[in-house]
């Protein structure tokens, strides 16, 4: 290295100034080029580092987004699985029954049994039983002790499809006997002569056969004439005034309006489809006219009745409550904002006449409960919605909320059905905590279902002796799950938390025999509205929403009292205008006692309607002459074979 340096030094010393300058400039250019390369390399390294960090962040965000997507997909798969099971699968009770039956097959019927099966069809449904009768029946039937010793324990009796079919057929036959009837005699004399010989047969008796017929067009027009009077020598002309009692200067009648309301709020037929149907039968009735009639008349006719029913309902200490949504297009809020229908009813176990009322509110806030239940003292059976518990706190014990065991059961059912059970045996499924909890809840329902036809006092005694231990076993197992170190699915953990958080409210039905163990009746009352909402989707105005609430109150209350909703609607349309002034105010509140579906006045009206209907149809079907076989001819009477046949 030193030798090379010396040689290089000698070479430089031998060069002139010009060559040295060129050499320096060349070296400077090389250094500049190297510096530029280093700077470019540093810039590339810096940009690469920044890009790498950006890619790292993007990768982390992508992983997070992918994880969120997996959670969403899993949730959607659960929802899809639940929806599929709801549509095509078996109900939870039937599913558990099938598992138990696989382990413990039910006893076969004895083909040669000498004991005749009892006929339950002749017994009156809903007859009361006492607490002593219940204890006696349990002692006589050890299978009703609530233990899972057989496949068909408790109230889950083996279904006799033939008996049910026979009951339905008997009910149909009984209903046919109460309808208008046309008598016809099916007799073809020529065919009988050909088959048996002329004069060689007679009618020994008649067999009855029935077909149910439907009159095609039930709409007719009532044409009313009022006289024009000519009086005095001057022949002064005057007319007798006429006013449509339903809506003056219109073609509307009580029967037509009742038919419109019945189709909409009982059969869930939207107004536009009703208009099409009426047009098909030759009545040019537009949807706009129908809506105008309904929105104008329904509030006036039903408001006093709804207010009176509300007063009666608040006198009952046992309520059930739920709520559901209603979309109103023009309510002054942003498009798509949902309103709500609150559903209040008397307890299904209370001894008073059942009352079901719907109230429209723009929101789901507690203000509705504060206003309606301002002076209410008693129990409300409801779900876990916070407003009911707020009311309990604000009322300082005046109102007590009771829980819904059906909602508790539903959470465990969902936790069960999101699992993949395909690869599991029946024994493994029965050992799942979801199934065990559901079976314990079922035992509570088995005991509770036996108490339906008891008085409140006897039901309370029976609950303390038979139902309370089952509830204790249920929550003892749920607390064991909560305190265990087992890892549960998200749905099962939610079900456990719900049961523990609502334990005080779920146990409260054990304190009073008038309190139901669940809020299922409220959901059944809402079902008719939910079916209708699926067809007509929304209410256009707030007035339309209030009409919906009023009419579903009338219809569901009529159903609960086992009366024909059409007849009750028609009754209110005919009778209420007689007690209203020109401004729609009630003139005599005493008349409201006759406007409820359990009143004697309504039942009398119901009987009159049935009698009038039968009389009207009897004119259409005059009684025919009973046919007789033709007399023997002289030729037939001389035939000895025919005489001896």
Q: What kind and span of H or E run contains 318?
A: strand 318-330
Res 119 pLDDT > 60: no
Q: Which pLDDT value is given to residue 418?
A: 84
Residue 514: domain span: 404-518
Rounded CA-CA distance 315/279 in Å is: 46
pLDDT of the residue at 199 = 83
Quickly list DSSP for 190-219: HHHHHHH-TTS---------------S---
The domain tally of the chain equals 2
Instruction: Count CA within 13 A, CB hemisphere, residue 59.
Output: 6
Report the C-alpha gap between 307 and 569 in whole angstroms.
Answer: 16
Q: List the beta strands (DSSP E) in 367-423.
A: 378-381, 399-402
Token pair belonging to 357: 């009322």
Pairing relation of β-strands 539-541 and 318-330?
A: parallel
User: How far, CA to CA in Å, does 397 sit from each of 345, 391, 400, 461, 617?
Assistant: 20, 9, 6, 24, 59
N- to C-terminal Cα distance for the chain? Answer: 151
- Range with the poorest average pLDDT among 325-329, 378-382, 467-471, 632-636: 632-636
| Per-residue pLDDT tens over the stretch 175-192 | 888 888 888 888 888 888
Beta bridge partner(s), residue 228: 239
Whole-number pLDDT of residue 402: 96
Least confident piece of the model among 24-28, 113-117, 389-393, 500-504: 113-117
Residue 578 and residue 584 in contact, taking contact as beta carbons nearer than 8 Å: no
Mean of pLDDT over the chain: 85
**Token pair recorded at residue 417:** 């059905």
Burial class (CB in 10 A: 0-12, 13-18, 19+), 40: exposed
More confident residue, 442 or 25: 442
How are beta strands 378-381 and 236-239 bridged, if at all? unpaired
- 563: Cβ contacts below 8 Å, ≥ 6 apart: 597, 602, 606
State yes or no: pLDDT of 14 exceeds 80.
no
Biggest distance spanned by C-alpha atoms of the chain: 171
- Residue ending a domain, among 518, 541, 570, is 518
Q: What is 430-498 written as a DSSP string?
A: HTSHHHHHHHHHHHHHHHHHTTTTS-HHHHHHHIIIIIHHHHHHHHHHHHHHHHS-----HHHHHHHHH
Question: Which one is predicted more confidently, 493 or 75?
Answer: 493
- Report the C-alpha gap between 96 and 99 in whole angstroms: 5
- In this structure, the strands spanning 356-361 and 378-381 are unpaired
Rounded distance between C-alpha atoms, residue 169 and residue 181, angstroms: 18
**Under a CB-based contact definition with an 8 Å cutoff, are residues 224 and 233 in contact?**
no
Tokens representing 589 are 């509140």
What is the average pLDDT across 240-266? 92
| Residues pairing with 539 in the sheet | 328
- Please report the pLDDT score of residue 86 as a whole number: 67
Closest to 201 in 3D by CA, of 214, 184, 188: 188
Crossing angle, helix 433-449 and helix 405-417, to 10 degrees? 150
In a domain, 289, yes or no: no
- The number of beta carbons lying within 10 Å of the beta carbon of residue 351 is 11
pLDDT tier at 110, thresholds 50, 70, 90: very low
User: Of 309, 254, 357, which is closest to residue 567 (Cα–Cα)?
Assistant: 254
Give 165's pLDDT tier (boundaries 50, 70, 90). Answer: low
In whole angstroms, give the CA distance from residue 297 to residue 572. Answer: 11
**Contact criterion met (CB below 8 Å) for 392 and 401:** yes
**How many residues are listed for the chain in this entry?**
645
Per-residue pLDDT for 57 more than 70? yes
Q: What is the mean pLDDT of residues 623-627?
A: 82
Chain center to CA of 112: 44
- For the cut 50, the answer to whether the pLDDT of residue 118 exceeds it is no
Residue 390 lies in a domain: no
In a domain? residue 475:
yes
Pick the residue with more confidence: 186 or 267?
267
The helix (H) or strand (E) run that includes residue 529 is helix 520-536
Separation between Cα atoms, residue 537 and residue 529, nearest integer Å = 11
Of 216-220, 308-312, 457-461, 605-609, least confident by mean pLDDT is: 216-220
Phi, psi dihedral angles at 146 (to 5 degrees): 85, 0
DSSP 8-state secondary structure symbol assigned to residue 329: E
Contact (Cβ atoms closer than 8 angstroms) between residue 349 and residue 514: yes
Mean pLDDT of 565-576: 96
- The mean per-residue pLDDT over the stretch 394-404 comes to 94
Q: Name the 3-class secondary structure at 257.
A: helix
**What pLDDT does 137 receive?**
74
Question: For residues 197 and 199, what is the distance between their CA atoms, to the nearest angstrom?
Answer: 6
DSSP 167-178: HHHHHHHHHHHT
Residue 123 is predicted with a pLDDT of: 41
> Residue 392 has what pLDDT?
95
Residue 218 lies in a domain: no
Is 450 within 8 Å of 416 (Cβ atoms)? no
Average pLDDT over residues 342-368: 95
Cα distance between residue 179 and residue 173, in whole Å: 10
Supply the DSSP string of 544-595, one letter for each residue.
HHHHHHHHHHHHHHHHHTT--HHHHHHHHHHHGGGGB-TTS-BS-GGGGGGS
Query: Residue 101 above 80 pLDDT?
Result: no
Mean pLDDT of 228-233: 87
For residue 157, the 8-state DSSP code is P
pLDDT of residue 122 exceeding 60: no
**Any idea which of 168-172, 384-388, 489-493 has the lowest mean pLDDT?**
168-172
Task: Determine, yes or no, domain membership for 86.
Answer: no
CA 213 to chain centre: 31
Please name every residue paired with 322 in a beta bridge, in sequence order, or none if there are none.
343
What letter would DSSP give residue 154?
Answer: T
Query: Directed axis angle between helix 542-560 and helix 254-265, to 10°?
Result: 90
Q: Which residues touch 439 (CB under 8 Å, ≥6 apart)? A: 96, 148
CB 121 within 8 A of CB 167: yes
583: confidence class by pLDDT, cuts 50, 70, 90 = confident
Q: Which pLDDT score is estimated for 156?
A: 39
Query: Is residue 641 domain-resident?
Result: no
Residue tagged 């997507």 (tokens): 69
pLDDT tops 90 at residue 75: no
Is the model's pLDDT at 136 over the cut of 80? no
């Amino acid at each position: 290295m030193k030798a090379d340096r010396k040689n290089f030094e000698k070479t430089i010393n031998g060069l002139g100034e010009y060559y040295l300058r060129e050499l320096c400039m060349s070296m400077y250019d090389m250094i500049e080029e190297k510096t530029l390369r280093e700077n470019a390399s540093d810039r590339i390294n810096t940009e690469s580092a920044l890009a790498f960090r950006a890619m790292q962040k993007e990768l982390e965000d992508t992983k997070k987004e992918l994880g969120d997507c997996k959670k969403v997909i899993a949730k959607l798969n659960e929802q899809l699985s639940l929806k599929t099971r709801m549509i095509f699968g078996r109900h939870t009770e039937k599913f558990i029954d099938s598992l138990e039956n696989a382990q413990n097959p039910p006893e076969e019927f004895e083909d040669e049994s000498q004991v005749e099966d009892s006929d339950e069809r002749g017994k009156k449904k809903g007859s009361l039983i006492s607490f002593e009768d219940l204890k006696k029946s349990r002692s006589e039937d050890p299978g009703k002790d609530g233990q899972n010793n057989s496949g068909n324990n408790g109230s889950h009796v083996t279904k006799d499809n033939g008996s049910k079919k026979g009951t339905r057929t008997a009910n149909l036959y009984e209903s046919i006997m109460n309808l208008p009837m046309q008598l016809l005699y099916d007799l073809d004399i020529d065919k009988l002569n050909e088959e048996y010989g002329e004069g060689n047969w007679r009618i020994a008796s008649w067999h009855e056969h029935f077909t149910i017929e439907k009159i095609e067009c039930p709409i007719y027009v009532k044409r009313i004439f009022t006289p024009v009077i000519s009086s005095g020598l001057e022949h002064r002309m005057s007319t007798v005034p006429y006013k449509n009692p339903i809506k003056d200067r219109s073609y509307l009648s009580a029967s037509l309006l009742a038919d419109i309301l019945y189709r909409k709020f009982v059969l869930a037929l939207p107004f536009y489809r009703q208009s099409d149907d009426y047009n098909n039968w030759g009545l040019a009735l537009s949807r706009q006219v129908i809506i105008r009639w309904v929105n104008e008349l329904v509030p006036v006719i039903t408001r006093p009745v709804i207010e009176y029913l509300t007063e009666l309902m608040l006198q009952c200490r046992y309520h059930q409550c739920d709520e559901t949504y209603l979309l109103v297009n023009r309510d002054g809020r942003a498009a798509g904002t949902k309103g709500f229908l609150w559903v209040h009813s008397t307890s299904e176990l209370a001894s008073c006449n059942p009352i079901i009322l719907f109230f429209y509110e723009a929101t789901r806030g507690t203000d509705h409960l504060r206003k309606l239940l301002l002076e209410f003292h008693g129990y409300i059976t409801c779900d876990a919605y916070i407003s009911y518990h707020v009311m309990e706190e604000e009322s300082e014990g005046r109102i007590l909320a009771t829980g819904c065991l059906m909602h508790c059961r539903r959470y465990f059912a969902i936790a069960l059905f999101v699992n993949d059970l395909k690869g599991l045996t029946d024994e493994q499924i029965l050992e799942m905590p979801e199934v065990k909890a559901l079976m314990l809840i079922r035992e509570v329902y088995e005991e509770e279902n036996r108490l339906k036809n008891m008085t409140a006092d006897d039901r309370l005694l029976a609950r303390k002796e038979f139902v309370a231990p089952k509830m204790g076993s249920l929550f003892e197992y749920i607390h064991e799950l909560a305190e265990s170190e087992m890892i549960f699915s998200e749905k099962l953990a939610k079900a456990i938390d719900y049961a523990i958080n609502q334990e005080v409210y779920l146990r409260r039905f054990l304190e009073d025999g008038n309190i139901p163990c669940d809020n299922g009746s409220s959901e059944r009352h809402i079902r008719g509205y939910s079916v209708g909402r699926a067809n007509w989707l929304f209410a256009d105005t707030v007035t339309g929403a209030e009409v919906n609430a009023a009419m579903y109150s009338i219809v569901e209350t009529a159903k609960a009292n086992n009366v024909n909703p059409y007849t009750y609607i028609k009754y209110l349309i005919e009778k209420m205008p007689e007690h209203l002034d020109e401004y729609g105010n009630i003139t005599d509140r005493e008349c409201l006692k006759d406007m409820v579906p359990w009143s004697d006045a309504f039942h009398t009206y119901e009987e009159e309607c049935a009698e009038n209907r039968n009389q009207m149809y009897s004119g259409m079907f005059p009684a025919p002459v009973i046919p007789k076989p033709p007399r023997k001819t002289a030729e037939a009477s001389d035939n000895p074979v025919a005489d001896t046949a």
